[in-house]
């Protein structure tokens, strides 16, 4: 069970993830790492699409639930960790485990690269259709469990796009902390 000290290292924010000055922002990518719409498109535009695409091409794609790293190029963030969330079907096709794995693997990649501050978007909750509250619960729990084990990650920010998602996420955070 994560302690209060762990929850103090987790923050929920409303805003645009591309603007955050953290060691790494996480991208909700596709398995070809080819760029796309949503947060992926915003990150590619803000980082510099040509350079980031060239870096992504060298990675040879990414499995669902896995994560890979590139430089952040023009972003304030020094790195981008690309992870591929599951497409939501009915929750009975391994989606919860794969979504949790996105958060865990992204944080593992951060540890491997000696990064201390990481910001996540709400992976899979846009085009990939994951129900928002369920996804946010999984995200917060996965991060808290990880931080409990790895002291080197100092701060994890969850960035929500728009007030509605932000308010919903703060409620999920309260519920998860109280579990």
- Taking the C-alpha atoms of residue 1 and residue 10, their distance in angstroms, rounded to an integer, is 15
Q: Under rule CB under 6 A, which residues in 151-170 are in contact with ligand APR?
A: 159, 161, 165
Q: Whole-number minimum distance, CB 121 to ligand APR, in Å?
A: 4
The C-alpha atoms of residue 131 and residue 35 are separated, in whole angstroms, by 23
Q: Are 85 and 30 a contacting pair, CB within 8 Å?
A: no
Cβ atoms < 10 Å from Cβ of 144: 21
- Can residue 86 be called a binding residue for ligand APR (CB under 6 A)? no
CA distance 108 to 111: 5
87-126 footprint of ligand APR as x/- string (CB under 6 A):
----------------------------------xxxxxx
Total binding residues for ligand APR by CB under 6 A?
24
CA distance 77 to 121: 14
Q: Which of 40, 66, 145, 165 is catalytic?
A: 40
Interacting residues with ligand APR (CB under 6 A) = 16-18, 28-30, 36-40, 42, 85, 121-128, 159, 161, 165
- So which residues are the catalytic ones? 40
């Amino acid at each position: 069970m994560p302690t209060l000290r762990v929850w103090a290292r987790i923050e929920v924010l409303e805003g645009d993830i591309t603007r955050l000055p953290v060691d790494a922002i996480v991208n909700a990518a596709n398995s070809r790492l080819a760029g796309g719409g949503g947060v992926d498109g915003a990150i590619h535009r803000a980082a510099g699409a040509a350079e980031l695409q060239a870096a992504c091409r060298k990675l040879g794609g990414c499995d669902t639930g896995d994560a890979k790293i590139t430089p952040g190029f023009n972003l304030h963030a020094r790195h981008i960790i690309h992870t591929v969330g599951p497409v939501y079907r009915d929750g009975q096709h391994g989606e919860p485990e794969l979504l949790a794995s996105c958060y865990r693997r992204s944080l593992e990649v951060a540890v491997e690269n000696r990064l201390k501050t990481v910001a996540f978007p709400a992976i899979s909750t846009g085009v990939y259709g994951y129900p928002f509250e369920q996804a946010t619960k999984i995200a917060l729990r996965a991060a808290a469990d990880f931080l409990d084990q790895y002291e080197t990650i100092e701060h994890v920010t969850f960035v929500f796009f728009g007030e509605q998602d932000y308010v919903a996420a703060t409620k999920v955070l309260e519920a998860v902390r109280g579990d």
